[in-house]
Chain A
Amino acid sequence: MPKTRVGVFVCHCGNNIGGVVRVPDVVEYARTLPNVTYAEDNLYTCSEEGLSSIKDQIAKEGLNRIVVASCTPRTHEPLFKKACEEAGLNKYLFEFVNIREHCSWVHMHDPAMATQKAKELVRMGVAKAVHLEPQEEFESDVFPAALVIGGGVAGMSAALALANQGIQVHLVEREQELGGLIRGVQTLFPTEQDTDELLRPLAERVKAHPQISVFLGSEVESVSGFIGDFDVSVRTDGEVEGLRVGTIVVATGAEELKPVGLYRYGELPNVVTQLEFEEQFKSGGDVPRSVAIINCVGARIPQRTYCGRFCCATAIKNAIWMMERDPEARVYVLHRDVMAYGVEIEEFYQRAMELGVRFLRYDVESPPEVLGEDRAKAVKVQHQLMGKEVTLPVDMVVLTTPLVARDDNGKLSKMLKVPLGSEGFFLEAHLKLRPIEFSTDGVYVCGAARYPSNIPESVSQAYAAAAKASIPIREGLVRVEAITAVCDERTCSACGNCVEACPFGAVELQQGRFGRTAYVNTALCKGCGCCVAACPSGAMQQRGFSDRQVLSMIGALAEVMTGGVE
């Protein structure tokens, strides 16, 4: 086994480090450390000169570990790693010690202690470097095709965005037609155009596109594999077809809540939801003379605390629709708050009021009551502003309900190994920092599948999901930084802690040469180390952050207290 030969390069960083830390002392100290065969100081180790020196000394001194003591690894680590590689040294045999942000810059008034600290940090860095091992980055091919689950507005938009880049797309839709939720909607807010005007051309483009294969009346039955290489089986009419894709977009949408048990829905024939209203009247049929629309039905209540976001706009849309057909109609919108966000919807709301739609505010504590024996005849409500109860005679009651997550989201979430949130919608990796993606690589989500969203929102998200889903395909490769976990199967006892601990489902128990042991799928491993810390026997380790490496740093620091440093 070749002797470990560590080279230490201590940077002055101009005056940033050198002005506080006595760099030559640190260099001298480094030379005394076990396994260090070479040490020098540089004015700027990251400069051309500094990098050349590293490369030269690797060759000249036969260095097989490099420690640079300078700034934070978060800036120049790739630079130094590249220099090592250029000199023929595996880039994972490099260790960075931070003696600027963590030392010279924060102990400016105590050069003696700062120098002492720098020495100790270098000691720790060298101790770790000795135990670094060469690593190869895991590369996995990406199969150049994408799966879009769901053929609604979001799904179709995502499919087109992907296909227009030349990527093969498989679009799987459960119903016999494309269109999703908005097929049941007759007109769109705030433009009031016919849905068909938007939907038909979109569906035509999808069907005509040479890069998109559409599966109608089909469902995804199983998914296995990981980013770059998913095996998907799709069932159509009892026939199963296998597909291979690199990335997956979830665009399965949501459904309108049918509020059975609320406001006598299901009991009285003329109490309907917004979608049902559209179905009944917009394709012909008389407009009812007087209508009470009740908002927030089954939303913003203890059992379902969220707001459906655009159902108010839907209510306003249908209220306007009625007033335009019959200016004498009496349309009441019983609301708790009007969610008219953005410019267009606010203007839409204004218009409704101008047309004579009456907006009445009610309290969640005293909700409206639907009166009538075998038909709804009136709605009694505590008018919040007037402070008294009013009874509104009506021919029909329309209930505005939010979108709710589909029942079978659970099945799909398990198939794809992606989580659901508390309301049953798909849960993204991070609400603020990582929308559209999941923690599970290669799977993305857009549209109402993640939470109620209107058409422009769904389409924007679809474009975002398509963009993200195309990146691995364009790159052709998924490269994983070699800081992944690895299990020593000879000493693993298959207790299963690691499997539970992994946030990414990257660890499984498998039957191997040494019986049942844990196995890490490197393509899925993110290098967090949760599994390593959970392993009681130390069989699971993390490349670049192994127990041995960390312990060596602890030991190196502790040795200082028992006479290691002068």
Chain B
Amino acid sequence: MQDKLQEVVRKLLAEGAVEYFIGYCQSSQPHRAVPCFVSDESEVEKLVWGPLCGQNLSKYVLRANELEGKVGILLKGCDTRAIVELIKQHQIERDKIVAIGVPCQGQVDGRKLEKALGVSLEQVTNVEDAGDGFLVTVGEETKKVPKEEVLLDKCFRCKHPYAFPYDVTLGEVVPFTIEADVGEYAAVEELEALPIEERRAFWRKQFERCIRCNACREACYACYCKECLFDRKMPRWLAAPPLLSENEMYHLIRAVHLAGRCIDCGECQRVCPVNIPLGSLYRKIQKDVAELFDYEAGMEMDTVPPLVNFELDDQDPFL
């Protein structure tokens, strides 16, 4: 797969079909791949593909707007949801992108891997897909770790919008399924089942740890605003320097802004330096948008965002 990818990209660059290609490559730390931008055929060999490519690179396509030509990008099925939304939200034209689809069999969650192995991630030198598990090399030893122990949360509910019009596919883009007893909204339902005071205490504790680094915002494809509401000075929504008492406000407002746009890529949770379970917050938003408005972001090109739309027979408990 990796060879095929490199072949395709080499060709694209040689033909001048793209100005550069966005993909993953090995980093100085072997346990994770990092985004890279390849503009010359000589750099193509850096590109990798494997179970360490969980990041959603879609946001980088926006740079193409500054270029004359196109950019290429490697897209897992889940990543295409961001591209669909970016096109719908007028941030990029479809013909600015050369989309390469890749069949994905699940991606590794670094934190879960660490926990499963009992060693720090720095010691992991290789991870390979092996069907029902991953072959993980730590030092001299290679172990097979069952997928359900280390997959990214989102992989358990892989939706693969097959209708996405890839330009090239590196093989049949088929759904990834796994037999695991994980409900669609398991984490959310667990919290919903708690008494309200316990929930308040839980989220208070979580939001208190937020250091307002804005990494979640930077990683999120939907946070492309030229000037973010939170950066405005007139009016100033949040105090500067940041107030602890306003942490909750930051997260609730961002969650509301993502309603109808969150594609469940999990980047926010992945990049949070203090491990706030943002997935539990954003999954709740997705759940409510799906249940209340029958809408899922990134699955169709022609739908209207739910909060600027309505049905005459929307639920109405406000009479």
Contacts and interface: CB of A to CB of B under 8 A. Distances in A.
A404 to B, nearest CB: 22
B225 A496 contact: no
Interface stretch (B6-14, B42-50, B301-309): B301-309
B91 to A, nearest CB: 7
B90 A548 contact: no
Interface stretch (A207-215, A327-335, A376-384, A487-495): A487-495
Interface in A517-565: 534, 536-539, 546-548, 551-552
A536 B259 CA distance: 11
A360 interface: no
A496 B257 contact: no
Interface in B181-240: 224-229, 232, 234-235, 237
Contacts of B229: 536-538
A537 B225 contact: yes
A160 B88 CA distance: 48
Given A496-B90, A497-B305, A501-B308, A548 B234 contact: yes
Contacts of A493: 91, 224-226
A46 B20 CA distance: 70
A496 to B, nearest CB: 5
B226 A537 contact: yes
B89 interface: yes
Interface string A57-96: 0000000000000000000000000000000000000000
A500 B227 contact: no
Nearest to B223: A536
Contacts of B227: 490-491, 537-539
Interface string B83-100: 000001111000000000
A503 to B, nearest CB: 10
A516 interface: yes
A234 interface: no
A509 interface: yes
The interface centre, meaning the residue of A490, A496, A509, A516 with most chain B CB atoms within 10 A of its CB, is A496
Q: Which of B88, B228, B235, B257 gathers the greatest number of chain A CB atoms within 10 Å?
A: B235
A546 to B, nearest CB: 8
A265 to B, nearest CB: 34
Contacts of B228: 537
Contact of B237 (A491, A495, A551): A551
A500 B304 contact: yes
Contacts of A538: 227, 229, 232, 235, 237
A539 B226 CA distance: 9
Interface string A130-165: 000000000000000000000000000000000000
A144 to B, nearest CB: 37
Contacts of B304: 500
Nearest to B309: A500
Interface in B226-269: 226-229, 232, 234-235, 237, 257
A534 B232 contact: no
Interface size class of A (residues with CB under 8 A): 20 to 34
Contacts of B257: 536
A496 B307 contact: no
Contact of A496 (B89, B232, B235): B89
Contact of B90 (A491, A516, A534): A516
Contacts of A501: 308
**Is the interface on chain B under 10, 10 to 19, 20 to 34, or 35 or more residues?**
20 to 34
A509 B90 CA distance: 9
Contacts of B226: 490-493, 537, 539
Interface in B120-153: none
Interface in B282-319: 304-305, 307-309
A430 to B, nearest CB: 15
B235 A547 contact: yes
B91 A495 contact: yes
A534 B234 contact: no
Contacts of B308: 497, 500-501, 534
Nearest to B257: A536
A546 B224 CA distance: 23
B47 to A, nearest CB: 31
Nearest to B234: A548
B270 to A, nearest CB: 22
Contacts of A546: 235
Interface string B74-118: 000000000000001111000000000000000000000000000
Nearest to A495: B89
A493 B226 CA distance: 6
A552 B234 CA distance: 11
Nearest to A518: B90
A516 B309 CA distance: 23
Given A500-B305, A536-B225, A537-B229, A495 B90 contact: yes
B305 A552 contact: no
Contacts of A509: 90
Contacts of A536: 225, 229, 257
Nearest to A517: B226
A490 B226 CA distance: 8
Contacts of B307: 497, 534
Contacts of A500: 304-305, 308-309
A491 B225 CA distance: 8
A492 B88 CA distance: 16
Contact of A548 (B88, B225, B235): B235
A540 to B, nearest CB: 11
Nearest to A496: B90
Nearest to A501: B308
Nearest to A555: B235
Nearest to A546: B235
Contacts of A547: 235
A509 B257 CA distance: 20
A494 B235 contact: no
Interface in A199-241: none
Interface string B143-172: 000000000000000000000000000000
16 contacts: A490-B227, A491-B232, A492-B226, A493-B224, A495-B91, A496-B90, A500-B304, A500-B309, A501-B308, A509-B90, A536-B257, A538-B227, A538-B229, A538-B235, A539-B226, A539-B227
User: 6 tightest A-B contacts by CB?
Assistant: A548-B235, A537-B225, A500-B308, A491-B227, A501-B308, A536-B257
Given A491-B225, A493-B91, A494-B90, 12 more contacts: A493-B226, A495-B91, A496-B88, A496-B90, A497-B307, A536-B225, A536-B229, A537-B227, A537-B228, A547-B235, A551-B237, A552-B235
Interface of A: 490-497, 500-501, 509, 516, 534, 536-539, 546-548, 551-552
